[in-house]
Structure formats: structure tokens, C-alpha cells
Amino acid sequence: MPEFPISIDTSSSFPLENIPYGVFSTREDAKKRAGTAVGQYVVDLAYLERRGVFDEVSNAFGNLFAQETLNNFAALSRDVRSKTREAITTALSSKDSPLFTDRDVNEGAFYRLRDVEMHLPMHISEFTDFSCFEEHVRNVSPFFPYLPSMDLPPNFHHSPMAYNGRTSSIIPSGTNFARPRGVFKDSSTGSVKYAPTQKLDYEMEMGILTAKPVPFGTTLTADEASDHIFGFVLLNDWSARDIQMYESLPVGPFNGKAFATSISPWVIVPEALAPSATEPLGQQNDQVPTHIRHSSLSKTIYDVSFNVSLARSGKESAKVSTSNLKHSFFTPGQMIAHRASSGCGMRTGELLGSGTVSSPESQWPDPSTARNGCLFELTVDGTREVPDIGGTWLEDGDEVTFEGWAQGANGARIGFGQLTGKILPSAGTKKE
């Protein structure tokens, strides 16, 4: 187990400046509990809680981190959560900490990251998927039959577009799933059929997990929304494009989006991302309606870069695109404010997706890789092959990997870890 100071490679996603939250179990102890990641280790926060590390932070602690989800911790005030993070940082960065001076504590608190099983970090109470990236919407709009000759939907700049998603199929990283079936029009015969999708796609998104709830009948401003953000995860909104396009008129996507949504296991908190805070590159002050308007756009979004890698069945993984969160037209605060603007209330543990993260060419200096967060854009609805690795849509056996990172305090790399998922043959389909 680690000695002080903990050896952390500069390429690690989890330096001391990060301190993410997750839920893990081990082979020796199947009980799910909260942990944080530092370097190549997971620190058992439930164990630290039993040792009294958080007694001076709040009387809410007792078995808070011993629970199977982070919901009750996330529902605490922002101040308590910040002080908890400070207590964890202090315990990990002091040579006099019992983590390093007491062998029993050291052995009880640390696990190697490679030896643990990660789970969904929260009970997901609701799922709202937005579409906030102008580049993505412009690229895909021409292919939707209900958006003829439309560059952008007329409401795009007025409020973040969204649909209500499904929580039953939200799965953690590394969970593989079968190719979904649905109703669509066969592109070769023109007949309508229920069959395995022929246009399976990924969508690179940022996920927001909510903290304290918003009571029914109340609303909040975009500036107030920061108090309701617990943290951020990578999100893959897997999509069956043929099913989605056929079913979406007139009420929007259903089964084409419902079969699986993957999220990364580590929740990256706003404090870790704060040094990368910037303003959205597309939006101007006072451009949006007052109910989602910030007092200032400065430091309302984060400079987070994303990579998408694709391994065709049995082949080596290759990077196929890279993009950045700051190219979102709307901010996380605006998404939350609009989500709550009808007075419907919000719960702790809601998941909000940013929409596909695609960056405009004018803002992307690296021409060696694509800037599109999905194959729909990258292959122009399957009419072009993916550069370097070939093929168009996802095939059985393909594995998709997302990575995200920002620059944190002291120039440290604040990583999200990886989000992975592999496509299995459709249920009832014999594997060749």
C-alpha cells in the first residue's frame, strides 16, 4: 500500500487536485460503498468515516459513505461537501495522517484501482438529455425528415432543447449490451420492419448530476443552479439512428434512445474543474431569455476536452475524434435553470446530458482528427467511412471509449477516467 507522499504519475486522471467520488466494491467485500480515486488507488471513504475523519465536518456523517449510492451525500449543502473534500485532501497530503502513520489504517483504507469493481455512483432519479451544441445540430438537421431545409430549429438559441429520457437503462462503464431492436424503414427495400438496428451510433456527452433538490412549484436562476450541481461524468447516449428517425415524428425519440445510456463511474466535482472555468464561445450576454440568463457569462462553463476512440471488432483502438465542452451554446447552469423553469421540481440524483459535443472547425486548430461527437456526423449518415479505421456505423464486437480531461490547480490533469462499452450481437442473433 502507498507511502507518503503518494506516487502519482503526471498522466494520471486522479491527482490530489481532483478527488472525485464513486461507488465501489471488492472481491473480498461485496458491499457497495463510497470511495475516491488518487493515482492508482481507491480510498475507502466509508472506512475513513468509521475512523472519524469527517466528525468535525458535519453531524450528518455516521454511515453516509457506507451507503450504496452517493445521493444522501450529494443532497448535503455545498459548504458541507466542500469541507468534506478538504478533509479528504488533508488526510491524503499530510505525512502525519493516520493513512500513512498507522499501518492498519493504511491497509484498511487503500485498494488498488485495478482490483475494485465500480458501480453507478448515484440512484438516477430522472434523465434529461439536452442538445446544446450548434455544430452538432447544424450537421444532423438535414437528415431528419421533420426538419426539411432547416439549418437550425427556430428555438435553438432561445432555450436548450431537450427530451425526457429513461433511467432504467442507465449503465456504468464497462457494461456491454446487445444490439437493440426497433421499428424502422429498411434503407434497401423501403419496407417497415421490427429488427436489429442497422445504424447504431454513440454520442459523446457530458453528464451533470444534481445535488440538493428543487421543490415542486419553484424555479431558480442560472446563477443559483451552481448550488444544485453535485458533479460531472462522461455520458454515452447510445443511439439507433434508423429507429430514432422513423419514430421521432411528431413526438420525439423513444426506443431509438431508450436501450442504453452509459456513464463513467467517477463524479468530478465543480471545485476540481474550477481552474478551467471559462465562458461559452458561442453565446453573447443577454442573448437568451431572462429565465436562463446569467448575470455574467464569465466562468460559467469549463474547458474540458474529450477524445473518442473506436476499436473495430478484434482490432486495435484508434482515436476518431476530439472536441471540447466550451463549444456548448448553453451552460450547465442554464440547462438546470431551464429544466426547473416549469415549476415541476428537481430531485437529487438527476442526470442531465449536454447533448453531443461537437466543435466547430473555426475553433479547432488540429486538422488531423475529426471534431464530431458521433458517427452520424463523422460518416455523414453512413455515406462516408470513418477515417483510418474504416466502416460507418457500429458493428457487433466494436468497443467505444470516451476520455475527458481539464487543467486543474497547479496545472494538474483533472481526468474523468474512461467510459467504455462494447456492442454484442442482438438478442436471438447467432454469432458467426
pLDDT of residue 151: 76
Q: Is 205 annotated as a binding residue?
A: yes
The three cell numbers locating residue 61: 456523517
Residue 214, pLDDT score: 97
Q: What is the 3-state secondary structure (H, E, C) of 256-314?
A: HHHCCEEECCCEECHHHHHHHEECCCCCCCCCCCHHHCCCCCCCCEECCEEEEEEECCC
Q: How far apart are CA 131 and CA 59, in angstroms?
A: 40
Does the annotation list 261 as a binding residue? yes
Q: Are 125 and 339 in contact (CB under 8 A)?
A: no
Contacts of 53 (CB under 8 A, 6+ apart): 87, 88, 91
| pLDDT of the residue at 147 | 59
Instruction: Provide the pLDDT for residue 249.
Output: 76
Q: In the chain, what are the domain boundaries?
A: 22-119, 127-424
- Residue (of 127, 114, 134, 200) closest to 164 by Cα position: 127
In the chain, the amino acid numbered 332 is P
Assigned CATH for 22-119? 2.30.30.230
Calculate the alpha carbon distances from 390 to 318, 322, 372 in Å.
Answer: 11, 18, 16
pLDDT at residue 157 in the model: 93
pTM over 0.85: yes
CATH of 127-424, one of 3.30.1540.10, 3.90.850.10, 1.10.1270.20, 3.30.70.270: 3.90.850.10
Cell of 322: 476530439
Is residue 203 marked as binding?
yes
Mean pLDDT split into 10-residue runs, the chain, 432 residues:
92 98 98 99 98 92 96 97 98 96 96 98 98 92 66 89 96 98 90 96 98 97 97 98 88 90 99 98 91 97 98 94 96 98 98 96 74 94 93 98 98 98 84 43
pLDDT of residue 348: 99
pLDDT for the residue 148: 55
* Ligand-binding site membership of 129 (annotated): yes
Per-residue pLDDT, 120: 99
136 is catalytic: yes
431 annotated among ligand-binding-site residues: no
Consult the annotation and say whether 257 binds a ligand.
yes
* Catalytic, out of 136, 228, 327, 338: 136
